[in-house]
Structure 1
Amino acid sequence: MDGKKKSKILESNLWRELKQGDRTAFNSIIRSHYQLLFNYGCKISKDQSLVEDCIQELFIYLWEHRDTLADVNVVRAYLIKSLRRRVINQLSTKDQKLVDRVENFAAETKGNFFSFSHEKFLIDNENNKAVQEKLKAAISNLPDRQREAIYLKYYSGLSYEEIAQVMDMEKQSVANVLRRALLSLRTLFSLFVPMVFRYLNQTQA
């Protein structure tokens, strides 16, 4: 059994124990996912306090409603999707136009809503700063939906199925979005940094 399958089984067991009122399991879920949730939330909103509040509210909700929680196959995807919804709802009171952009990734606008501070998940051991900057600029010009899918796949390590759950899409649609994004990046970088795309090709499955 590979590491990912073991991790999913462990998460499922912790979730079941949380539903039974096991605070140790609940704390383990928090420790395992907090940083992932915080990093993702900060891609949606630069207001770190807002993100932290939404994460706290999410975990409070889980504990207070543990008796009625549904069974979850992939805990991290469930948590990311729940946080996404909470952050969007909070932003709706501040900037409706921003929320409209978040909820309409399918429009594939070229704004800077879903941004990246680092692209090490794509360039791995590439030390050329010029390459890093060019790749970062190329990713920032991708449509919102493509940027989010790339972040979830290559930074957060989610599978196609998990990304589909987070973004409310079909699994095949996720594959299509990622394929278009990688094709756009390859057009710019296939000759310049072939190592990047050897890495991408190995991690698309």
Structure 2
Amino acid sequence: MFKDFVKEDAVLWEEFKGGNYNSFTVIYQNYIQVLYSYGLQVIKDPELVEDCIQDLFIYIWDNKNTLGKTENIKFYLFKALRRRIVVKLKLKDREELNDDFTHHTSHVQMSYEQTLMALNFGLLW
């Protein structure tokens, strides 16, 4: 029975990669709920999870011709979703750091000498 499930996943994935929109829809319908639940286990931010899932499905449809083979769609999607969440969190953290830096430094005026030293040491861009 497990072999049949693996075979079905592999066939469904290959049909999807071949451009079969119905197969893509079946994948989406079969895994959307479990992906959402899994995403909430990774991060307790429903909006972020929803955004990442949407981005994931857009990405796999747009790049279906270059995706590798899989015999287990669920684990493939779990791994891809986790990766997207981690990347989004890193970007979000980086943006918050930049916002904090900009906020704290916007009120500071450096002298000409301080500006030259900061430029020489790569502290200003």
Task: State the one-letter code of the partner of 1:43.
Answer: Q
Q: Which residue of 1 aligns with 2:47?
A: 49
Partner of residue 135, structure 1: none
CA deviations 1:14-50 (Å, max 9, x no partner) are 1000111000000000011111110010011111011
Q: Which has the higher contact order (CA 8 A, sep 6+)?
A: 2
CA deviations over 1:105-154 (Å, ceiling 9, x no partner): xxxxxxxxxxxxxxxxxxxxxxxxxxxxxxxxxxxxxxxxxxxxxxxxxx
The equivalent of 1:89 in structure 2 is: 87
Kindly report which structure 2 residues correspond to 1:131-142, keeping only aligned pairs within 5 A, or say none: none
2:19 — aligned with what? Answer: 21
Question: What residue identity is the alignment partner of 1:9?
Answer: K
Identity %: 40
Aligned ranges 1:10-159 → 2 under 5 Å: 10-95=8-93
2-structure distance, mates of 1:35, 1:25: 17
Task: Deviation per CA, 1:167-203: give whole Å up to 9, x if none.
Answer: xxxxxxxxxxxxxxxxxxxxxxxxxxxxxxxxxxxxx
Q: Structure 1 stretches (4+) deviating beyond 4 angstroms? A: none
Structure whose CA Rg is larger? 2
Kindly report which structure 2 residues correspond to 1:153-192, keeping only aligned pairs within 5 A, or say none: none
C-alpha RMSD of matched pairs (Å): 1.3
Unaligned runs of 5+ residues in structure 2 are: 95-125
TM-score (norm 2): 0.70
TM-score, normalised to structure 1, is 0.44
Q: CA deviation at 1:61?
A: 0.6
Q: How many residues align?
A: 94
Which secondary structure does the structure 2 equivalent of 1:94 belong to? helix
Q: State the shift of 1:95 in Å.
A: 4.3
Q: Which amino acid aligns with 1:8?
A: V
User: Any stretches of 5+ residues in structure 1 without a counterpart?
Assistant: 97-205
In the alignment, which residue of structure 2 is the partner of 1:132? none
Contact 1:11 1:29 in 2 (8 A): no
